[in-house]
Amino acid sequence: MRKHITIESAKLCCGCGACVNACALGAITMKEDEAGFIYPFVDTAICVECGKCVDVCTFTKKGDGANGEIAVYAAASKNEEVLKSSSSGGIFTELAKEILKNGGAVFGAAWTDDFTLEHICVENEQDLTKLRGSKYVQSNTGTSFSLAKKLLDEERQVCFCGTPCQVSALKAFLKKDYKNLFTVDLVCHGVPNIKMLKDDLKNVLNDKYSKIENISFRDKSYGWGVKGSIKLDNSKVKYNAGNSPYYFYFLKGEVYRESCYNCRYPLENRQGDITLGDYWGISLDLIEKMGDVNADLGVSCVLVNTEKGEKWLDSVKDNISLAKSSRQAVQKRNHQLTAPSAPLPEHKTLLNGYIENGYSSFKAGYKKHIKDHIIRTIKNMIPAKVKRKINDLLS
């Protein structure tokens, strides 16, 4: 049957861009809907209805990925600079460095000059800084899958890091296993979009918006937690749930794309050779087993899903502190490993308000949550070491 991709339900399209990459005629582009989420748009004047875009669509298909990991670890880079500038334990950088050392290329999400987020290809260690750190917004994969395929066919090693749906999409696009492909999927609870983020940055910064030099959602100068900052030309502005409705709603899970609430990757179907997340609530006992580590600077949970992942992690073991853990221990404080985010009752109201009245509806809703801010602020004032002691006593 001759056909092309159509979006029958928003919850069935994760915006991964596999269809864009699969179309040899360039008939598909990603376009924003009224809320700012990207969906494929087919130019029917160019489309010959070959159906490749339909075949490559992986989000609705079941049965791929790892069902049960080989091993689970707590891990952190021994390099303090890497650790400080990464979101959790800096393991992504250590794994990526190994690929670069072997003459390979690394794909990940980086800010563009005008602060949209795109997947780019990096070929030297210095440029890894562009990829480092979690950006809490959807990254546009652009034509990165096609470029990754070209490099793989040239027999170069390729590392691809992204959300589980992006890693799954890359594999569907490639159609076959490549022994030189190394993948990392992130523990992910969902993504809002660039339009919402930009509206929010304009609100937080006002006339300083044009002076943004960098955005960090996880600035460790405030400790290992969910607090960020915006670097301006010669100053820094705090960026967190206390001053940003976007950040606040992101953490509450209220403004994700519809497909995130329908994510099929949390528990099973892990897509990466390795899955990385924050090891929230790590026990004092496990920190001790890791040896020489400053846990206040962040620890990653590492799920090793394939034998390739096992060898890859082993190849960087001299550069990281590592201790064996279990899925059970990791998911105790990381619900993203058990089920997708559930939309709260306010989700629809908030989204419809945003579509009808723009960003002002975010601000109006945000004021009602002042109690949550206060509780979060008080919790954040408790030093990490004290929190860990309390957790250990309670568990």
Ligand X SMILES: Cc1cc2nc3c(=O)[nH]c(=O)nc-3n(C[C@H](O)[C@H](O)[C@H](O)COP(=O)(O)OP(=O)(O)OC[C@H]3O[C@@H](n4cnc5c(N)ncnc54)[C@H](O)[C@@H]3O)c2cc1C
d(CA 355, CA 349): 10
Cβ closest to ligand X, residue 22 vs residue 74: 74
Residues 293, 299, 303, 306: is their CA dihedral positive or negative?
negative
Work out whether 271 is an interface residue with ligand X (CB under 6 A). Answer: no
Q: Which residue has the tokens 């990459």?
A: 21
CB of 291 to ligand X, least distance (A): 18
Cβ closest to ligand X, residue 52 vs residue 239: 239
Q: Using CB under 6 A as the criterion, what x/- string covers residues 334-373 for binding ligand X?
A: x-x-------------------------------------
Cβ closest to ligand X, residue 42 vs residue 188: 188
Report the residue number whose CB is nearest to ligand X.
108
CB of 73 to ligand X, least distance (A): 12
Work out whether 161 is an interface residue with ligand X (CB under 6 A). Answer: yes
Binding residues among 69-108 for ligand X as defined by CB under 6 A: 86-93, 108
Nearest to 38 by CA among 343, 353, 265, 257: 257
Pairing of strands 71-77, 300-304: antiparallel
Work out whether 273 is an interface residue with ligand X (CB under 6 A). Answer: no
CB of 327 to ligand X, least distance (A): 13
Neighbour-count burial of 47, counting CB atoms closer than 10 A to its CB (0-12 exposed, 13-18 middle, 19+ buried): middle
Nearest to 74 by CA among 245, 263, 285, 359: 285
Q: Looking at 102-161, list the stretches that DSSP marks H as alpha helix, in order from N- to C-terminal side.
A: 128-131, 144-153
Q: What angle do CA 238, 122, 95 make, to 5 degrees?
A: 80
Q: Using CB under 6 A as the criterion, what x/- string covers residues 176-205 for binding ligand X?
A: ----------xxxx-x--------------
Cβ closest to ligand X, residue 189 vs residue 270: 189
CB of 339 to ligand X, least distance (A): 12
Work out whether 58 is an interface residue with ligand X (CB under 6 A). Answer: no
Residues 76, 77, 81, 82: is their CA dihedral positive or negative?
negative
Contact 122, 128 (CB under 8 A): yes
Work out whether 252 is an interface residue with ligand X (CB under 6 A). Answer: no
Cβ closest to ligand X, residue 27 vs residue 200: 200
d(CA 72, CA 334): 14
Work out whether 264 is an interface residue with ligand X (CB under 6 A). Answer: no
Residues that bind ligand X (CB under 6 A): 86-93, 108-109, 117, 131-137, 139, 161-163, 186-189, 191, 276-278, 300, 334, 336
